């Protein structure tokens, strides 16, 4: 069955960096675009970034552009989100999701990122 | 960006009730509207896509309708496992999908 497992979340100070990983299994990872979505309680769900199946095309929300980098390693069935210059308002649970025709069919369980001094 | 709104923000329902949640887009999105269910501490789960198509495995008591800017999610005969938060999401404008703020359905 399809499984997506995020890791790498934690507590960091403003300005610091963090790298999230998403390990995929149960499907041919290299066939699908992947997405990062974040959720702040009481605020809702926010799209963060997309990457094409090959990794050659990436997109970012304006709120993270220039600070976050999405990447993937199809040989390792893994998706990544490198987050630099973190801000307090980046605090959220980050989900990776498998994308099919703009549908987010499968989601991971989420990784909590807390940015606080 | 396309803004999504939902109403109500929360509602209370009894087992067996019929529940309707409304989602509105700030501009026409044709039928590019999806619904997700989220339970506390869990990831969202895709329920309905392209406004009215039930995702595989989703009970038939869930249904969706609408096009353009106005959409509804209906749960007929609410069951205990349906108490959750429901989000709509537009997939008309990509990249940059956007979600509604959510509707919390709890027990009356």
Per the CB < 8 Å rule, is B87 touching A44? yes
pLDDT over 70, % of chain A: 100
Whether pLDDT at B105 is above 90:
yes
Whether pLDDT at A42 is above 80:
no
The mean pLDDT value for B8-34 works out to 97
**How far apart are alpha carbons B7 and B104 in whole angstroms?**
10
A58-109 pLDDT per residue, tens: 999 999 999 999 999 999 999 999 999 999 999 999 999 999 988 999 999 9
Within 8 A of B95 by CB-CB distance, chain A residues are 47, 50, 59
**pLDDT number for residue B107:** 86
Adjacent-strand bridge partners of B4 = B25
Whether pLDDT at A45 is above 80:
yes
**pLDDT number for residue A78:** 98
Q: Which are the contacts of B89, defined by CB distance < 8 A and separation ≥ 6?
A: A45, A104, B4, B33, B34, B35, B36, B97, B98, B99, B100
What is the band of A43 on the pLDDT scale with cuts at 50, 70, 90? confident
B34 to chain A, closest Cα gap in Å: 8
**Residue among A44, A103, A110 whose CB faces B43 most closely:** A110
B35-74 pLDDT per residue, tens: 999 999 899 999 999 999 999 999 999 999 999 999 999 9
**pLDDT number for residue B94:** 86
Mean pLDDT over each residue of chain A, to the nearest integer = 96
At B80, give phi and psi (nearest 5°): -55, -35
Among the listed residues A87, A90, A81, A68, the one whose alpha carbon sits nearest the alpha carbon of residue A16: A87
Per the CB < 8 Å rule, is B96 touching A102? no
Whether pLDDT at B108 is above 90:
no
Euclidean distance between the first and the last CA atom of chain A, given in angstroms as a whole number = 40
**Residue among A46, A47, A105 whose CB faces B46 most closely:** A105
């Amino acid at each position: 069955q399809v499984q997506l497992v995020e890791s790498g979340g934690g507590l960091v100070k403003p300005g610091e960096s963090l790298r999230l990983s998403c390990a995929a299994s149960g499907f041919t990872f290299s066939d699908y675009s992947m997405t990062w979505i974040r959720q702040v309680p009481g605020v809702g769900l926010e799209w963060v970034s997309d990457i094409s199946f090959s990794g050659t095309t990436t997109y970012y929300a304006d709120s993270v552009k220039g600070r976050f980098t999405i990447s993937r390693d199809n040989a390792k069935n893994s998706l990544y989100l490198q987050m630099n210059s973190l801000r307090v308002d980046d605090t959220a649970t980050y989900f990776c999701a498998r994308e099919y025709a703009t549908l987010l069919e499968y989601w991971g369980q989420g990784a909590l990122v807390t940015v606080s001094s | 960006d396309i803004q999504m709104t939902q109403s109500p923000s929360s509602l209370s329902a009894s087992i067996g009730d019929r529940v309707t949640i409304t989602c509105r887009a700030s501009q026409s999105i044709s039928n590019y509207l999806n619904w997700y269910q989220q339970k506390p501490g869990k990831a969202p789960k895709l329920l309905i896509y392209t406004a009215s198509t039930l995702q595989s495995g989703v009970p038939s008591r869930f249904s969706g309708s609408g096009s353009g800017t106005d959409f509804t999610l209906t749960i007929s005969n609410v069951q205990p496992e349906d108490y959750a938060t429901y989000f709509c999401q537009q997939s008309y404008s990509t990249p940059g999908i956007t979600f509604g703020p959510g509707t919390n359905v709890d027990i009356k």
